Structure 1
Amino acid sequence: MYRLQPRAVVKDMTVVFFSSLAMIIFEIFLSRFFSVILDYNYVFLIISLATLGIGVGGYLAYKWNERFIEMSTSILGTFAVSMMLVVLTMYALPYQGIVFYALCAILPFILGGLILAGTMQSSKEQVHILYFVDLVAAGLGATGAIFLMNAINPIQTIGLITFVLIFVYLVVSYRKTGRWSKFVYSFVLMGLALNMVYPFLDFIEFKAYRTSPFTVFSKRPDAKIVYTHWDAFSRTDVYDTKDELLYMTIDGSAMSPISKYSKELKEVDYLLTTTGALSFQHGPKKSALIIGAGGGQEVLTAQMSGFEEIDAVDINKGSFDAVHALAGLSGDIFHQNGVKEIISDGRSYIKKTTKKYDLIYLSLVKKQSENGLGLALTENFIYTHEALKDYMNRLNSDGRLAFLLHDDTELNKMMYAAKKYYQGQGMDEKSIKNYIAVVGTYQHLGHVLVGMKGPIINRPLLILQKQPMDKEMAQLLMDSTLHIQQIPIHIPHINDQYGTLQALFNTQHVNVNSNRDDRPFFYNKTNQFPMGLVVAIMIPILVAMFLLRRRVLSSGQAVYFSGIAIGFMLIEVTFIQKLSLPLGHPTRSFVTVLGVLLVAGGIGSYCSKQGKTIYGRYSPLVIIGFLALLANTLVGLFDHSLEIPETHRMFIIVVLLFPLGFFMGMPFPHGLAHLQHEQVAMSWGINGVMTVVGSLLAAALSLTFGFTVTLWIGASIYILLFIFQPTVKSV
């Protein structure tokens, strides 16, 4: 028997708390670090696969069952140091490739998984308490990581958490630690403390960033960084290449130019030759809303075109901060008279504002990535059918909505959404074409682009009118288009090519339904299940099969722990994506959903022994299924309730999710309590591996079928486990 003294229980709780806290912070850090040096395709996959280390750690805890108790304290110290060493290595070395970063990232997860699984196996009688501590720590860590990375920066955050973990290691193992080890770790502690005051990395070049092929200026060593800021949301850099522009990059790739400007508009009149400038030149010019303000060039265009009030919206605070910090070069355009900067997601702002505009303009709000899986997986509520309707409702009676897009496939999707909107207003096909104008880009700031070549329309400008365009307005647009050497694709009355465009779109295999609020994946241009995710899902499944080859767990037990892991992630990931709209920001959604579900789940774990059975079935399983569906239904009401203050919305969502999280924390410790001692670590490992499957599967299902279907599948898994639980032997 493994009877523990109260002091030993407190020690185990301390180790589990800080190990879990460190792992979730490290995972969130990796998402920020890799976003800077890798394409999002690889960020998503590497982090998902790296967390397989948790499952591998569980397997090692099973293999080293008896030896773990002797090794546990030294593993904690190694885990602490491994995080900082991994970060320093990836930071200081030139770009090394995907495999190298995956191998680096997985090491701390293996050690962390080994600590958590081994501790729970050696303290099986207290597993409901330890799992409570584990989940609460993860919930606090998710919230704390965002706060710390905003307060200091991502690298310093890892330095701080390493300092805390080493300190905990020395406290809990002081009597067992040798003199030499104490000296080494104390020296490391002093170094980390000094690092918080005088960051060492200020003196070390971020070579992985400057040499990564995924960053815009990797092949321009002459480009000088004149501003940089790195927080939980993005890394914002501004480069000076000694020409008339500065170049602001977000996470090294999404680029937005900043015009060098000393408050004389004649200095930047070249902006009036761009395709996007056509949206500002004709029609009423009192108020304009620019979504995706970036470096502020559209603000200058609006000023030169005569707009009196200009509201500039950008979700990235760093964009505004960069322009302010470089006021001597940028003219501090966002602080000029008549200009108002708004830090918000464009869709959230348009839902809560009561102001109406003569023009709403969105310009290349997201970078294009050649149908990259990562970009396709990015939920984007600003281009959905429902968003278009919201924009049109915020226009004055003779206002216009304009999108500058990347290519004809995006044009296809937005014109389809526009057609659905106009049809909803009672218009027929023949009338709709008079509300729409399309201009292609031939040249941009003197650089000739592809223009229209076969089925390709480069950087199309789509203008949607609140009222039909008359012949006079159409002629003005036609003349302006030809004057600046752009391509008139469809201009009502003058160059009517609406039918030709529709014929072109009919030849494309574009998923025109993948930009709705329930499936807001605008850059997903296919109707196919993402094969990249299928391959990624197979990797953890193969790992799970390897772990189960010795049949330490029965098939029923394997199904049970796999099912609750997949179901948990399907529900959690989908709510994080779905709630980014009502909560106004993806980061706010991440912190709220993860924090509430994990903390509530920890409390549920503590109470798991109180869970009732119904005809031999564990009742929390079926309760989880129905609460998930109820929460999804009630969350849907927020589409009509964004006028509620954000703090109230957040409170309501916390109230909705807390009962769900409470019951979701019960099944895992309940299952562990019915296992043999030597099965605990293996079940932890299987659960950890299948958590990765769940997160990847959530992404694939949401992309293909939408949020509602994904949540139904997650809820159904819990309900099926409840129904068939009698076949799950020993649980």
Structure 2
Amino acid sequence: MVSASLDRRTCYGMFAISLAGLMYELILTRIFSVLMWYHFASMAISLALFGFAVAAMLVQLRPGRFPAERTGDICRRCCWGFVLSLVLFFGVFVLFRYWPQFGFRVLSFFHQPFYQPFQQGFYNKGVPLSLLPVLAGLYLVTALPFFFAGLAVTLLLRRHLRQIGRLYSWDLLGAGLGCLAVIGVLELVGGVGGLLLVAQAGLAAAACFGDGRRRWLRPLLAALLLVALLAGNLAFDFAGIRFVRGRYEPGLLWSAWNSFSRVAVYPSRGEELRQAWGLSRTYRGPIPQQLGMVVDDTGYTTLYRWPGEEGLGYFRDNVIALAWRLKEAPVGLVIGPGGGKDVLAALASGAQRVTALEINPLVAEAVNERFAAFTGALYRRPDVELAVDEGRSWIRRQNRRWDVIQASAVFGRMAPSAGAFTLSENNLYTLEAFRDYWEHLRPNGILSISRFIFERETLRLVSLGLAFLERQGVADPASHIVVIKERGLANFMLKKSPFTPDELARLRTMTARLAFQEVLMPDRRQGSDPFHRLVAGYASGTFYDEFPFDVTPTTDDRPFFYYMYKPADFLTLFTFPAQSRFEDRAVLILRNLLLVVGALTFVCLILPLLLFRRCELGRAGSGWRLLYFACLGLGFMLLEIGLLRRFILFLGQPIYALAVILFSLLVFSGLGSLLAGKIAAGREGRWLPPLLLVLVLLSQFCNYGLPPLLDALLDQPLALRCLLAAGLLAPLGLLLGMPLPLGMRLLHPDGRDLAWSWGVNGATGVLGSLLAVVVAMNWGYTLTLLAGGLVYLLALSPVLRLRSGGL
């Protein structure tokens, strides 16, 4: 195959279709996090890479259908297919909007049955067989845009092999810009409306591949139609999401999207008002009016009508107020205040000043702006300070200390930053986080965290507290910890100094008067329940060995606070451990998804080659070529996901980590690909071995050297931290962009089987995106980055074999 000259319009077309594909991938993670479980953010990445890989295999198996001389025309049609499939996916939401029962039947499987603000869900551990075809159809519709985009990219790379470094750089630059552009798109028009804006980029790509003076006419007319459709949706909301994890949401009072969440406010029903988690059963005063608020699919909180000073007893008699009531006019910090319950509890208990640290600006907007008349603009009161930032990062930059630091049921089961390829990591509940809180407490300060007592996470909090205090050299860690519950809600308190007899007496007096229950007290350590057994056996490790779930302390390297399967249980195929809860299904589905994706990769990518291109598999060196490009796909995803994790705390808001890190890696990889194009033909074999070795060494510097460096720079302004992050990633990004174009030129000098290698690279990326999450959940991010480096080291084997004449 003769490589054609590369003109500017082709580069622009590659840029536009790559930008559109990446933006769709990230928007899809947001939509999946709202419609289903947050775990499906990882599935969106797999769908993207899988669609690209299948397209590449189609080119490999049926090259006659894609003649090189018609590449431009075929790419133009692919771009139109991308646009039409996005419109089709948009139509699914219109269907859900006007036929809600159909949407309910499709999505009800994902409903959490224990909390019912909307429509009742089902409690089935297995997926109903009747649901499988519907879900398969839904996933097929979501994968179609990736297939068309992947087909266009594959054909362009095959056609322009000699200039692959330059063309691949435009591909990566487009994807990098898409990481930034998607933030603005989600802020402006939300997830569903964002599909129509992404389609505009597809139309721009179609125009780039068109011929003649009127090549812009049809895309322009289509763009105008899409703009009209988008304007109509913004005005009339005919495609608005009314399903959150299977719950039908009628009568929403307000909903809005930003780059990492969807927030909705709805009327509270009578049973919710009476539920009042943590409220004393002896309380007989008035119950304030309430509005429910949900972030994505699981982050529930409540807006309260400002009750006036005389009506604050409702909050004072809650178990979450105990730490405040032990202090005289305390100054405190509330992490994740949501609708304001914790702040109201602090004010009701006599707090002198409260700082409300909220990560989500939409939540703050709901309290202070949209429903200010209802809430009394709580966060603008003179005794309340509002900070909108990520909790850990903000605290580390402060020079002040507080009497109480509180985090009541701060919900972390949401995919951070719209597809940061993570599962349920939570920076707030790690040993390092406890150190940050400890350093910002006054000498007798209290850390107060409330969670539901029936959750295993409450036990893990005690485990964290004991391990942290032991690290601090505390002789008797249990003397610093108290757990008191009110029916379902438990308040975990860790005091910087041991609880005094007077404080314990006051706690017992309040507990008796308010009908709370003691769970764990420093002066009563006998008991057969898990909490007392943990206190007795944590030091020797016997409790952790005997307990059926993993409640060992979480760390910043393995911050999966909500993930509690032991590796052996996780790897037990297609089964549910005996004491699994409803939401554990999602973790197990992710595990099974890894197996299913692996099987589909074989069936759709390898099996066709075995059946129809067996002679090509037998060609000398085919296996080594496959190994090389498989290592690049797998290694890139392992490093990318591990590096994202390293920078989330440093950059504060998770969306900044997503935008800055992905943008930096992709853009600098694009520049690296451009540099690779400058290497003279025939010298690829000399450059690749040292390049791969330096890449491996640099990746491990990022693994082991970055954490202390980032820790030292954490107090710098955000803009400077973003620039520092980009600068630190620039060398590695440049190197990551070079192996693929150089390998294409070295291992496919005649262009034959190039589509096959490109497809294998994408297929292993599919596995890598899920495998990285699985490795991180069970063994930590350090091992994830180490595995990425080792995979790139393995890619040396085919190159060295070629140099020795073995290929």
Give the TM-score normalised by the residue count of structure 1. Answer: 0.89
In structure 2, do the counterparts of structure 1 residues 240 and 211 end up closer, same or farther at CA, with 3 Å as the change threshold?
same
* 2:186 paired with 1:149: yes
Amino acid at match of 2:20: A
Report deviation, 1:343. Answer: 0.9
Q: Of the candidates 735, 747, 750, which is equivalent to residue 663 of structure 1?
A: 735
Distance 2:668 2:327 in 1: 54
Match of 1:545 in 2: 606
Distance 2:190 2:806 in 1: 47
Distance 2:477 2:347 in 1: 31
Give the TM-score normalised by the residue count of structure 2. Answer: 0.81
Distance 1:514 1:567 in 2: 29
In structure 2, do the counterparts of structure 1 residues 544 and 522 end up closer, same or farther at CA, with 3 Å as the change threshold?
same
In structure 2, do the counterparts of structure 1 residues 643 and 608 end up closer, same or farther at CA, with 3 Å as the change threshold?
same
Does the CA-based 8 Å contact 2:10-2:208 persist in structure 1? no
Q: Secondary structure at the residue paired with 2:53? A: helix
Distance 1:307 1:623 in 2: 56
- Equivalent pairs counted in the alignment come to 696
Bigger drift between 34-43 and 160-169 goes to 160-169
Distance 1:616 1:639 in 2: 35
Distance 1:172 1:293 in 2: 51
Match of 1:53 in 2: 51
Does the CA-based 8 Å contact 2:336-2:358 persist in structure 1? yes
Distance 2:160 2:563 in 1: 47
Match of 1:515 in 2: 554
* 2:196 paired with 1:192: no
Match of 1:446 in 2: none
Q: Of the candidates 762, 782, 789, which is equivalent to residue 715 of structure 1?
A: 789
Does the CA-based 8 Å contact 1:482-1:488 persist in structure 2? no
In structure 2, do the counterparts of structure 1 residues 695 and 491 end up closer, same or farther at CA, with 3 Å as the change threshold?
same
Q: Secondary structure at the residue paired with 1:288? A: strand
Distance 1:132 1:730 in 2: 30
In structure 2, do the counterparts of structure 1 residues 402 and 61 end up closer, same or farther at CA, with 3 Å as the change threshold?
same
Match of 1:127 in 2: 164
In structure 2, do the counterparts of structure 1 residues 335 and 120 end up closer, same or farther at CA, with 3 Å as the change threshold?
same
Amino acid at match of 1:200: N
- Aligned residue runs from structure 1 range 108-507, under 5 A: 108-170=145-207, 172-175=209-212, 185-195=219-229, 198-206=231-239, 209-215=241-247, 218=248, 221=250, 224-241=251-268, 244-261=289-306, 264-324=308-368, 325-366=370-411, 377-407=423-453, 409-428=456-475, 431-442=476-487, 458-493=488-523, 495-497=524-526, 501-503=531-533, 506=543, 507=546
Distance 1:389 1:91 in 2: 49
Distance 1:312 1:593 in 2: 28
Q: Encode CA deviations 1:5-50: one digit per residue, 9 max, x unaligned.
A: 45xx223212211110000000011011111111113343354235
In structure 2, do the counterparts of structure 1 residues 711 and 658 end up closer, same or farther at CA, with 3 Å as the change threshold?
same
Q: Of the candidates 768, 776, 794, which is equivalent to residue 702 of structure 1?
A: 776
Distance 1:629 1:188 in 2: 48
Does the CA-based 8 Å contact 2:318-2:345 persist in structure 1? no
Report deviation, 1:669. Answer: 0.8
Report deviation, 1:434. Answer: 2.2
Does the CA-based 8 Å contact 2:639-2:789 persist in structure 1? yes
Distance 1:376 1:652 in 2: 23
Distance 1:259 1:307 in 2: 19
Q: Encode CA deviations 1:579-624: one digit per residue, 9 max, x unaligned.
A: 1011112211111111111111111111114566677853221111
Identity of aligned residues (%): 26
Does the CA-based 8 Å contact 1:275-1:440 persist in structure 2? yes
Match of 2:283 in 1: none
Distance 2:500 2:527 in 1: 16
Distance 2:687 2:292 in 1: 64
Match of 1:672 in 2: 744
Amino acid at match of 1:681: A
Distance 2:636 2:731 in 1: 14
Amino acid at match of 1:251: D
In structure 2, do the counterparts of structure 1 residues 514 and 469 end up closer, same or farther at CA, with 3 Å as the change threshold?
closer
Does the CA-based 8 Å contact 1:153-1:231 persist in structure 2? yes
Q: Secondary structure at the residue paired with 1:40? A: coil
In structure 2, do the counterparts of structure 1 residues 107 and 319 end up closer, same or farther at CA, with 3 Å as the change threshold?
same
Q: Encode CA deviations 1:701-727: one digit per residue, 9 max, x unaligned.
A: 111111111111111111222255333
Report deviation, 1:83. Answer: 1.5
In structure 2, do the counterparts of structure 1 residues 664 and 281 end up closer, same or farther at CA, with 3 Å as the change threshold?
same
Q: Secondary structure at the residue paired with 2:404? A: strand
In structure 2, do the counterparts of structure 1 residues 548 and 366 end up closer, same or farther at CA, with 3 Å as the change threshold?
farther
Match of 1:451 in 2: none
Q: Of the candidates 645, 651, 656, which is equivalent to residue 588 of structure 1?
A: 656
In structure 2, do the counterparts of structure 1 residues 375 and 329 end up closer, same or farther at CA, with 3 Å as the change threshold?
farther
Report deviation, 1:561. Answer: 0.5
Bigger drift between 414-423 and 613-622 goes to 613-622
Distance 2:685 2:375 in 1: 68
Q: Of the candidates 672, 675, 687, which is equivalent to residue 607 of structure 1?
A: 675
Q: Secondary structure at the residue paired with 1:306? A: coil
Does the CA-based 8 Å contact 2:82-2:148 persist in structure 1? yes
Amino acid at match of 1:203: F
Q: Secondary structure at the residue paired with 2:650? A: coil
Report deviation, 1:134. Answer: 0.3
Does the CA-based 8 Å contact 1:514-1:520 persist in structure 2? no
Bigger drift between 610-619 and 145-154 goes to 610-619
Amino acid at match of 1:515: T
Amino acid at match of 1:536: L
Does the CA-based 8 Å contact 2:421-2:769 persist in structure 1? no
Report deviation, 1:503. Answer: 1.3
Match of 2:32 in 1: 34
In structure 2, do the counterparts of structure 1 residues 204 and 149 end up closer, same or farther at CA, with 3 Å as the change threshold?
closer
In structure 2, do the counterparts of structure 1 residues 175 and 624 end up closer, same or farther at CA, with 3 Å as the change threshold?
same
Report deviation, 1:212. Answer: 4.9
Listed as ranges, the gaps of 5+ residues in structure 2 are 108-134, 271-288, 415-419, 536-542, 572-587
Distance 1:174 1:671 in 2: 33
In structure 2, do the counterparts of structure 1 residues 640 and 87 end up closer, same or farther at CA, with 3 Å as the change threshold?
same
Amino acid at match of 1:694: G
Distance 1:600 1:721 in 2: 21
* 2:586 paired with 1:526: no
Distance 2:356 2:591 in 1: 40
Report deviation, 1:190. Answer: 1.9
Report deviation, 1:339. Answer: 0.5
Q: Of the candidates 574, 585, 594, which is equivalent to residue 642 of structure 2?
A: 574
Does the CA-based 8 Å contact 1:557-1:730 persist in structure 2? no
Does the CA-based 8 Å contact 2:549-2:566 persist in structure 1? yes
In structure 2, do the counterparts of structure 1 residues 509 and 91 end up closer, same or farther at CA, with 3 Å as the change threshold?
farther
Amino acid at match of 1:629: Q
Listed as ranges, the gaps of 5+ residues in structure 1 are 443-457
Does the CA-based 8 Å contact 2:53-2:758 persist in structure 1? yes
Report deviation, 1:206. Answer: 4.5
Q: Secondary structure at the residue paired with 1:255? A: strand
Q: Secondary structure at the residue paired with 1:488? A: strand
Does the CA-based 8 Å contact 2:666-2:733 persist in structure 1? yes
Report deviation, 1:225. Answer: 1.4
Amino acid at match of 1:210: R
Distance 2:638 2:699 in 1: 10
Distance 1:723 1:513 in 2: 39
Distance 1:176 1:717 in 2: 48
Does the CA-based 8 Å contact 1:291-1:361 persist in structure 2? yes
What do you get for the CA RMSD once the two structures are aligned? 2.6
